[in-house]
A and B are shown apart, each in its own frame.
Chain A
């Protein structure tokens, strides 16, 4: 059975720098040239492409974010081999928290009839991991998260869910939402042909009104969580360095640990 797959991707800053925080409303300033496709989403894209290669079908990239989200994140996914992009961008979304983004994504995804919705497990900037499970709940679809492997057989999906120590094998019916962990695969590099081809692939641009988003449920005002402020974390380290030339550094280290009541 060919699979109609959606893969949700997010643009994140390349470097983790506090200079990207807007001091007026505490949102992230997303400079287009500094941002990349969320590394874990690259793994999600790879997984989606492998499923398409095994079963046939199509992979649609879905992304919510400012115009520039297209330049790096979605384009990268296209050049890896995805077929098209659906891009939701609207000023009313500015400042949306994870639950609000999940709601907005659900509004976009409801317009398609996807067999499988693939997400990364976590974005490297927000790192909440909240979006995929909230998304599954908004769509009332089965959710299988923290996958280290994904297999589709007929109309069922089976996942090895990473646990603290070991893993669970879980399975459920399609359509479903799946969250992929870092390490599930080694994402491919876009080929020259892939990069060239990406330029001609269809991009559908949508506004909040296009997908029926209630503006009271998104943006800074519509988000349940509120940022009150932020501060640089002071991290004074003692920086005691000892050389093991005399072969006795372990004694000094043990002294240090003992004094700090760590042993």
Chain B
């Protein structure tokens, strides 16, 4: 079957932005492969997700609702999905290329003897019906083209690789049983601790990112970065120096040993632009830096750079953007 499946990434039925991008990608891949875009929902809250799934063009949904997916995350999901993929052999499955999506894809690949393409920044179907994927390597200096030998193809697509586009379709639903063996129950989720700021996207999903570095001088000054980020609807990132100093959590670190991001816009505030930082952000579409040192290496890779004191520039910029938003 040439259907293209999407494993929906969601929080109790609230779909992440990446899910909408994956649905959009599945639509064009399915058209190329000669099948239909199919959404796979595991967890709780399907009623909440349903409308958006149809709006972004899935013609079918495989729905498995169970609390076990939260309790035994992700082993329950791995077993359930591996079983249906093995049985129905779609063209392929798209996963969000974050830590969670890649873990699920890797485990399903090992269970079914399938290969996995991770970190795709573009995906299409070649003349032979195989996937053609591009991913950035060596800190974004090189683009590698890859394919897989045998279907179903497991592909992890990075956030913002495609822009989400609506294309309403009528959605057929099918219930799929949750498959949770004793082995899948070995690892349990005992507690979830969320530090999410309402409305602020996680750094590796954000279309716009404002990152802060050692130039902020004090953890309290991250408030400047956050205020600018909130004005832009952006996620907040950090350099390793800021993370090492304990100013911001590692989940927000951008770079070789943090997240690799390709947002539409990346604003580096008080970050010098060391090679290990660049490795995580130089594929951003537009790069802006605010740094008081004109010789700072970050300026070698900007589209727009401000040489100046961030304590002066950033609050004024936030205010200026607010003013223009209200004026426009």
Contact = CB atoms under 8 A, between A and B. Distances in A.
Contacts of A215: none
A164 B110 contact: no
A122 B150 CA distance: 25
A142 B106 contact: no
Interface string A163-199: 1111111111100100001110000000000000000
A103 B111 CA distance: 11
A129 interface: yes
A1 interface: no
A142 to B, nearest CB: 4
Contacts of B256: 16, 39, 124
A162 B250 contact: yes
Given A181-B250, A242-B306, A134 B187 contact: no
A68 interface: no
Given A98-B106, A225-B117, A256 B111 contact: no
Interface string B288-327: 1000001000011111111111001100110011001100
A225 B116 contact: yes
Contact of A170 (B189, B258, B321): B189
Interface residues of A, number: 88
Contacts of B189: 168-170
A18 interface: yes
A42 B12 CA distance: 36
A136 B302 CA distance: 42
A235 interface: yes
Contact of A249 (B105, B186, B196, B313): B313
Q: How large is the interface on B (under 10, 10 to 19, 20 to 34, 35 or more residues)?
A: 35 or more
Nearest to A122: B257
Given A142-B187, A170-B187, A237-B287, A129 B102 contact: yes
B142 interface: yes
A239 B307 CA distance: 12
B205 interface: yes
Interface in A40-82: 40
Contact of B143 (A102, A133, A173, A233): A233
A140 to B, nearest CB: 7
A209 interface: no
Contacts of A200: none
B187 A128 contact: no
A76 B180 CA distance: 41
A182 B194 contact: no
Interface string A122-137: 1011011111111111
Contacts of B307: 241-244, 249
A26 B325 CA distance: 48
B243 A165 contact: no
Nearest to A241: B305
B132 interface: yes
Contacts of B149: 224-226
A229 interface: yes
A167 B73 CA distance: 13
A135 B106 CA distance: 9
Contact of B109 (A134, A146, A254): A134
Given A98-B106, A165-B197, A182-B258, A230 B142 contact: yes
A127 B135 CA distance: 11
Interface string A96-135: 0111001100000000000000000110110111111111
Contacts of A244: 306-309, 312-313
A128 B115 contact: no
B220 interface: no
Interface of B: 73, 75, 78, 98-99, 102-103, 105-107, 109-111, 113-119, 132, 136-150, 183, 186-197, 200, 202-205, 208, 232, 243-244, 250-251, 253, 256-258, 260, 264-265, 275, 279, 282-283, 286-288, 294, 299-309, 312-313, 316-317, 320-321, 324-325
28 contacts: A16-B139, A21-B142, A99-B109, A125-B138, A128-B116, A129-B103, A133-B106, A134-B110, A142-B186, A169-B192, A171-B187, A172-B187, A183-B244, A224-B109, A224-B149, A225-B149, A226-B149, A231-B143, A232-B143, A233-B136, A240-B302, A241-B306, A242-B305, A244-B306, A253-B304, A258-B324, A260-B265, A262-B286
